Amino acid sequence: MNGRLRNKTALVTGSTSNIGQAIAEAFAAEGAHVIVSGRDRERGTRVVEGIRAAGGRADFVVADLDGSARASRELADRARDSLGGRIDILVNNAGIYPSSDTAHTDEATFDSVYAVNVKAPFFLTAAVVPMMTRSGGGTVINLGSWIARLGVPSAALYSSTKGAVETLTRAWAAEFGPLGVRVNALSPGVILPPAPEGSEPHLGEIMMRGTPAGTVGTPDAVAHAAVWLAGDEAAFVHGTVVDVDGGRTGAAVVAA
Protein backbone atom coordinates (compact mmCIF):
# COMPACT_ATOMS: atom_id res chain seq x y z
CA MET A 1 0.00 0.00 0.00
CA ASN A 2 1.21 3.53 -0.72
CA GLY A 3 -0.69 5.71 1.77
CA ARG A 4 -3.25 7.09 -0.66
CA LEU A 5 -5.59 7.94 2.23
CA ARG A 6 -2.96 9.21 4.65
CA ASN A 7 -4.35 11.79 7.12
CA LYS A 8 -7.94 10.99 6.06
CA THR A 9 -10.72 9.87 8.36
CA ALA A 10 -13.43 7.40 7.36
CA LEU A 11 -16.70 5.98 8.67
CA VAL A 12 -17.67 2.61 7.18
CA THR A 13 -21.10 1.28 8.16
CA GLY A 14 -21.72 -2.45 8.39
CA SER A 15 -17.98 -3.07 8.58
CA THR A 16 -17.82 -5.92 11.08
CA SER A 17 -17.73 -8.53 8.28
CA ASN A 18 -17.58 -9.22 4.54
CA ILE A 19 -17.39 -6.24 2.12
CA GLY A 20 -17.56 -3.58 4.82
CA GLN A 21 -14.74 -5.19 6.77
CA ALA A 22 -12.60 -5.44 3.64
CA ILE A 23 -13.17 -1.74 2.90
CA ALA A 24 -12.31 -0.71 6.45
CA GLU A 25 -9.12 -2.79 6.36
CA ALA A 26 -8.11 -1.42 2.95
CA PHE A 27 -8.70 2.19 4.03
CA ALA A 28 -6.61 1.68 7.16
CA ALA A 29 -3.84 0.04 5.15
CA GLU A 30 -3.78 3.17 2.97
CA GLY A 31 -3.32 5.40 6.02
CA ALA A 32 -6.87 6.40 6.98
CA HIS A 33 -8.15 6.49 10.56
CA VAL A 34 -11.25 4.29 10.28
CA ILE A 35 -14.40 3.94 12.33
CA VAL A 36 -15.63 0.35 12.14
CA SER A 37 -19.37 0.32 12.80
CA GLY A 38 -22.06 -2.29 13.26
CA ARG A 39 -24.39 -3.96 15.72
CA ASP A 40 -22.05 -6.72 16.89
CA ARG A 41 -19.51 -5.33 19.35
CA GLU A 42 -17.53 -8.57 19.53
CA ARG A 43 -17.03 -8.82 15.77
CA GLY A 44 -16.31 -5.11 15.51
CA THR A 45 -13.67 -5.33 18.21
CA ARG A 46 -11.99 -8.19 16.34
CA VAL A 47 -11.87 -6.15 13.14
CA VAL A 48 -10.35 -3.19 14.98
CA GLU A 49 -7.78 -5.41 16.68
CA GLY A 50 -6.79 -6.86 13.32
CA ILE A 51 -6.35 -3.40 11.79
CA ARG A 52 -4.26 -2.21 14.71
CA ALA A 53 -2.13 -5.36 14.64
CA ALA A 54 -1.34 -4.56 11.00
CA GLY A 55 -0.23 -1.04 11.98
CA GLY A 56 -3.42 0.79 11.09
CA ARG A 57 -5.67 3.15 13.04
CA ALA A 58 -9.24 2.12 13.85
CA ASP A 59 -11.92 2.41 16.50
CA PHE A 60 -15.27 0.68 16.88
CA VAL A 61 -18.56 2.51 17.29
CA VAL A 62 -21.58 0.32 17.91
CA ALA A 63 -24.65 1.33 15.90
CA ASP A 64 -28.02 -0.13 15.02
CA LEU A 65 -29.02 1.79 11.93
CA ASP A 66 -32.75 1.15 12.10
CA GLY A 67 -33.68 3.88 9.65
CA SER A 68 -34.48 6.52 12.22
CA ALA A 69 -32.89 9.92 11.79
CA ARG A 70 -31.92 9.77 15.47
CA ALA A 71 -29.82 6.60 15.07
CA SER A 72 -28.05 8.02 12.03
CA ARG A 73 -27.33 11.34 13.74
CA GLU A 74 -25.99 9.58 16.84
CA LEU A 75 -23.59 7.49 14.76
CA ALA A 76 -22.41 10.56 12.84
CA ASP A 77 -21.76 12.48 16.06
CA ARG A 78 -19.95 9.62 17.82
CA ALA A 79 -17.84 8.87 14.76
CA ARG A 80 -16.89 12.53 14.38
CA ASP A 81 -15.86 12.72 18.03
CA SER A 82 -13.78 9.53 17.76
CA LEU A 83 -12.08 10.86 14.63
CA GLY A 84 -11.03 14.16 16.15
CA GLY A 85 -13.88 16.26 14.83
CA ARG A 86 -13.74 15.40 11.14
CA ILE A 87 -15.18 12.78 8.76
CA ASP A 88 -13.57 12.87 5.32
CA ILE A 89 -15.04 9.66 3.87
CA LEU A 90 -18.42 8.02 4.46
CA VAL A 91 -19.15 4.54 3.13
CA ASN A 92 -22.83 3.59 3.29
CA ASN A 93 -22.41 -0.18 3.26
CA ALA A 94 -24.79 -1.52 5.94
CA GLY A 95 -27.77 -3.41 4.52
CA ILE A 96 -30.03 -6.41 4.94
CA TYR A 97 -31.21 -8.96 2.38
CA PRO A 98 -34.58 -10.70 2.85
CA SER A 99 -35.00 -14.10 1.24
CA SER A 100 -38.74 -14.07 0.58
CA ASP A 101 -40.38 -13.47 -2.78
CA THR A 102 -42.92 -10.72 -3.42
CA ALA A 103 -46.03 -12.71 -2.56
CA HIS A 104 -44.57 -13.81 0.77
CA THR A 105 -43.15 -10.45 1.87
CA ASP A 106 -45.14 -8.92 4.71
CA GLU A 107 -45.39 -5.22 5.44
CA ALA A 108 -43.08 -5.36 8.45
CA THR A 109 -40.32 -6.93 6.35
CA PHE A 110 -40.85 -4.38 3.59
CA ASP A 111 -40.60 -1.49 6.03
CA SER A 112 -37.52 -2.87 7.82
CA VAL A 113 -35.58 -3.45 4.59
CA TYR A 114 -36.30 0.07 3.34
CA ALA A 115 -35.47 1.46 6.78
CA VAL A 116 -32.02 -0.13 6.89
CA ASN A 117 -31.12 0.02 3.19
CA VAL A 118 -32.51 3.42 2.21
CA LYS A 119 -33.60 5.55 5.19
CA ALA A 120 -30.49 4.89 7.26
CA PRO A 121 -27.97 5.95 4.60
CA PHE A 122 -30.22 8.87 3.64
CA PHE A 123 -30.24 10.33 7.15
CA LEU A 124 -26.62 9.41 7.84
CA THR A 125 -25.50 11.22 4.71
CA ALA A 126 -27.70 14.18 5.70
CA ALA A 127 -25.89 14.28 9.05
CA VAL A 128 -22.34 13.78 7.76
CA VAL A 129 -22.25 16.04 4.69
CA PRO A 130 -22.55 19.30 6.68
CA MET A 131 -19.58 18.13 8.77
CA MET A 132 -17.64 17.53 5.56
CA THR A 133 -18.46 20.91 4.09
CA ARG A 134 -17.39 22.69 7.27
CA SER A 135 -13.98 21.00 7.09
CA GLY A 136 -13.44 21.63 3.38
CA GLY A 137 -15.11 18.72 1.61
CA GLY A 138 -15.29 14.97 1.52
CA THR A 139 -16.38 11.81 -0.24
CA VAL A 140 -19.47 9.63 0.06
CA ILE A 141 -19.46 6.10 -1.34
CA ASN A 142 -22.73 4.18 -1.48
CA LEU A 143 -23.09 0.45 -2.01
CA GLY A 144 -25.50 -0.50 -4.76
CA SER A 145 -25.86 -3.94 -6.32
CA TRP A 146 -25.76 -5.62 -9.70
CA ILE A 147 -29.31 -6.86 -9.18
CA ALA A 148 -30.57 -3.29 -9.18
CA ARG A 149 -30.26 -3.52 -12.98
CA LEU A 150 -30.47 -7.23 -13.73
CA GLY A 151 -33.57 -8.98 -12.42
CA VAL A 152 -33.12 -11.93 -10.09
CA PRO A 153 -36.04 -14.05 -8.78
CA SER A 154 -36.92 -13.51 -5.11
CA ALA A 155 -34.91 -10.29 -4.95
CA ALA A 156 -37.51 -7.66 -5.86
CA LEU A 157 -37.55 -5.92 -2.49
CA TYR A 158 -33.79 -5.82 -2.00
CA SER A 159 -33.04 -4.81 -5.58
CA SER A 160 -35.55 -1.96 -5.38
CA THR A 161 -33.73 -0.56 -2.34
CA LYS A 162 -30.42 -0.71 -4.18
CA GLY A 163 -32.00 1.00 -7.16
CA ALA A 164 -33.05 3.77 -4.77
CA VAL A 165 -29.49 4.05 -3.42
CA GLU A 166 -28.04 4.34 -6.92
CA THR A 167 -30.58 7.05 -7.76
CA LEU A 168 -29.68 8.89 -4.55
CA THR A 169 -26.04 8.70 -5.62
CA ARG A 170 -26.72 10.72 -8.75
CA ALA A 171 -29.03 13.18 -6.98
CA TRP A 172 -26.53 13.72 -4.16
CA ALA A 173 -23.70 14.23 -6.63
CA ALA A 174 -25.67 17.11 -8.11
CA GLU A 175 -26.67 18.46 -4.70
CA PHE A 176 -23.38 18.13 -2.82
CA GLY A 177 -20.73 18.38 -5.55
CA PRO A 178 -20.85 22.19 -5.58
CA LEU A 179 -20.26 22.05 -1.81
CA GLY A 180 -17.04 20.07 -2.23
CA VAL A 181 -18.44 16.61 -1.50
CA ARG A 182 -18.10 13.93 -4.16
CA VAL A 183 -20.74 11.16 -4.20
CA ASN A 184 -20.36 7.88 -6.09
CA ALA A 185 -21.45 4.28 -5.71
CA LEU A 186 -20.03 0.81 -6.06
CA SER A 187 -22.16 -1.95 -7.52
CA PRO A 188 -20.77 -5.31 -6.39
CA GLY A 189 -21.62 -8.45 -8.30
CA VAL A 190 -21.50 -11.94 -6.82
CA ILE A 191 -19.02 -11.52 -4.00
CA LEU A 192 -18.02 -14.51 -1.87
CA PRO A 193 -15.14 -15.36 0.44
CA PRO A 194 -12.69 -17.86 -1.08
CA ALA A 195 -14.26 -21.34 -1.03
CA PRO A 196 -12.48 -24.31 0.53
CA GLU A 197 -10.80 -26.53 -2.03
CA GLY A 198 -13.03 -29.38 -3.15
CA SER A 199 -16.28 -27.80 -1.99
CA GLU A 200 -19.45 -27.97 -4.08
CA PRO A 201 -20.07 -25.01 -6.45
CA HIS A 202 -22.02 -22.17 -4.83
CA LEU A 203 -25.09 -20.85 -6.68
CA GLY A 204 -23.21 -17.58 -7.14
CA GLU A 205 -20.37 -19.38 -8.89
CA ILE A 206 -22.85 -21.00 -11.25
CA MET A 207 -24.39 -17.58 -12.00
CA MET A 208 -20.96 -16.22 -12.97
CA ARG A 209 -20.21 -18.90 -15.54
CA GLY A 210 -19.88 -17.39 -19.00
CA THR A 211 -19.11 -13.88 -17.74
CA PRO A 212 -15.86 -12.12 -18.69
CA ALA A 213 -14.40 -12.91 -15.25
CA GLY A 214 -15.79 -16.43 -15.25
CA THR A 215 -15.91 -16.60 -11.47
CA VAL A 216 -17.10 -14.80 -8.36
CA GLY A 217 -15.33 -11.86 -6.79
CA THR A 218 -13.98 -11.51 -3.27
CA PRO A 219 -14.61 -8.65 -0.81
CA ASP A 220 -11.11 -7.34 -1.53
CA ALA A 221 -12.13 -6.58 -5.12
CA VAL A 222 -14.78 -4.15 -3.87
CA ALA A 223 -12.40 -2.70 -1.29
CA HIS A 224 -9.79 -1.85 -3.93
CA ALA A 225 -12.44 0.04 -5.93
CA ALA A 226 -13.54 1.87 -2.78
CA VAL A 227 -9.96 3.02 -2.12
CA TRP A 228 -9.80 4.43 -5.64
CA LEU A 229 -13.12 6.29 -5.31
CA ALA A 230 -12.07 7.69 -1.92
CA GLY A 231 -8.68 8.89 -3.12
CA ASP A 232 -7.40 11.82 -5.12
CA GLU A 233 -7.12 9.77 -8.32
CA ALA A 234 -10.92 9.88 -8.55
CA ALA A 235 -11.19 13.63 -7.91
CA PHE A 236 -13.04 14.19 -11.21
CA VAL A 237 -15.49 11.30 -10.67
CA HIS A 238 -18.98 12.39 -9.59
CA GLY A 239 -22.36 10.62 -9.64
CA THR A 240 -20.98 7.39 -11.06
CA VAL A 241 -21.89 3.80 -10.27
CA VAL A 242 -18.77 1.67 -10.63
CA ASP A 243 -19.57 -1.95 -11.46
CA VAL A 244 -17.37 -4.45 -9.62
CA ASP A 245 -19.15 -7.51 -10.95
CA GLY A 246 -16.81 -9.38 -13.28
CA GLY A 247 -18.74 -8.08 -16.28
CA ARG A 248 -22.04 -9.66 -15.21
CA THR A 249 -24.20 -6.63 -16.08
CA GLY A 250 -22.04 -5.02 -18.76
CA ALA A 251 -21.32 -7.89 -21.13
CA ALA A 252 -23.22 -10.74 -22.75
CA VAL A 253 -23.14 -13.94 -20.75
CA VAL A 254 -22.38 -17.08 -22.74
CA ALA A 255 -23.97 -20.15 -21.25
CA ALA A 256 -21.45 -22.85 -20.44
Q: DSSP letters of 26-66?
A: HHHHTT-EEEEEES-HHHHHHHHHHHHHTT-EEEEEE----
Which residue, 16, 53, 65, is CA-closest to 37? 16
Q: Is 114 a catalytic residue?
A: no
C-alpha to C-alpha distance for 137 and 131, rounded to whole angstroms: 8
Q: Which of 123, 158, 172, 176 is catalytic?
A: 158
Letter for the amino acid at 142?
A: N
Residue 163 DSSP one-character state: H
Cβ–Cβ < 8 Å for 87, 76 = yes
Diameter of the chain measured on Cα atoms: 53
Integer angstrom CA distances of residue 246 from 26, 71, 207, 212, 223: 20, 35, 11, 6, 14
For 126-144, give the DSSP string: HHHHHHHHHTT-EEEEEE-
- Cβ–Cβ contacts within 10 Å for residue 170, how many? 16
| Secondary structure (3-state) at 35 | strand
Residues catalogued as catalytic: 158
